[in-house]
């Protein structure tokens, strides 16, 4: 057993199809990761357009951020690596699974309407935009993470990383020891006084965690 792959505090590469931790990568570009041949073949139509041969003397076109994953069907959050690359406008494009997350949640205070995060840190949480209406499963991982005191019901997978500022297109690695306690405090309060259901989240159909 590879103990490193089972350490939830250390960011792991994940299969682009199902989201499980894996160390197996595309042999051509070295940037895409899959849990096995079946999912590598399934993703080939989408991956072929971005798969360029890797050379040791250049930075890879596709790089990664360390992200905190709250998988709806797991008991504890874990750190994963999500690929990104620079686009033509100088913004960082998160390649998967962000395509259908149009309204992420930005977290810039210790709790809603509270003081700023230490060092004016800002987090961004991506989630299924329609989770209140599309039958998505409840996120038990977030419920347990907040000791049953979650401020609102969340559904489907949720992913969190750092960003430079609210609505910024520039991101950064989430750091477990520094950031996880801050997120826990915020999530226990977020949504407590919301009069209606929140419907901002993302479609995670392409990246299911098992």
**What confidence tens digit (pLDDT) does each residue in 17-66 have?**
888 888 888 888 877 889 889 999 999 998 888 887 766 555 556 788 99
Cα 80 from Cα 146, distance rounded (Å) = 20
185 domain residue, yes or no? yes
117 domain residue, yes or no? yes
95 domain residue, yes or no? yes
Say if CB 19 and CB 157 are below 8 A apart: yes
The DSSP symbol for 46 reads H
Q: To which residue do tokens 């250390």 refer?
A: 10
182 domain residue, yes or no? yes
72 domain residue, yes or no? yes
Say if CB 110 and CB 121 are below 8 A apart: no
16 domain residue, yes or no? no
Within 8 A by CB and 6+ apart from 202, the residues are 97, 98, 100, 101, 102, 104, 126, 127, 128, 129, 156
Within 8 A by CB and 6+ apart from 126, the residues are 94, 97, 98, 101, 104, 158, 159, 160, 202
Tally of structural domains, the chain: 1
Note the helical H segments in 29-168: 37-47, 140-145
194 domain residue, yes or no? no
Most confident of 18-22, 93-97, 177-181, 189-193: 177-181
Cα 152 from Cα 155, distance rounded (Å) = 10
11 domain residue, yes or no? no
Say if CB 90 and CB 160 are below 8 A apart: no
Tokens linked to 74: 């797991």
Within 8 A by CB and 6+ apart from 173, the residues are 11, 65, 66, 67, 161, 162
pLDDT above 70 for 200? no
Q: What is the dihedral of CA 115, 117, 122, 124, to 10 degrees?
A: -80
What percent of the chain has a predicted confidence (pLDDT) above 70? 83
Domain that holds residue 137: 64-189
pLDDT for the residue 59: 52
Note the helical H segments in 62-118: none
Q: Please compute the mean of the pLDDT values over residues 83-105 and round it to a whole number.
A: 76
């Amino acid at each position: 057993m590879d103990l490193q792959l089972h350490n939830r505090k250390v960011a792991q590469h994940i299969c682009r199809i199902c989201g499980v931790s894996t160390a197996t990568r595309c042999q051509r570009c070295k940037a895409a990761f899959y849990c096995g041949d079946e999912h590598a073949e399934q993703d080939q139509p989408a991956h072929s357009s971005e798969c360029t041969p890797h050379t040791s003397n250049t930075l890879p076109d596709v790089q990664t951020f360390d992200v905190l994953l709250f998988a709806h069907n797991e008991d504890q959050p874990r750190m994963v690596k999500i690929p990104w690359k620079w686009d033509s406008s100088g913004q960082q494009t998160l390649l998967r699974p962000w395509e259908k997350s149009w309204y992420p949640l930005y977290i810039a205070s210790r709790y809603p309407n509270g003081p700023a995060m230490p060092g004016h840190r800002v987090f961004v949480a991506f989630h299924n935009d329609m989770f209140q209406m599309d039958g998505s499963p409840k996120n038990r991982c977030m419920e347990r993470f907040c000791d049953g005191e979650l401020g609102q019901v969340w559904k489907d997978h949720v992913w969190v990383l750092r960003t430079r500022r609210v609505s910024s297109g520039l991101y950064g690695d989430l750091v477990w020891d520094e950031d996880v306690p801050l997120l826990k405090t915020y999530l226990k309060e977020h949504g407590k006084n919301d009069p209606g259901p929140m419907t901002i989240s993302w479609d995670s159909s392409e990246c299911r965690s098992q």
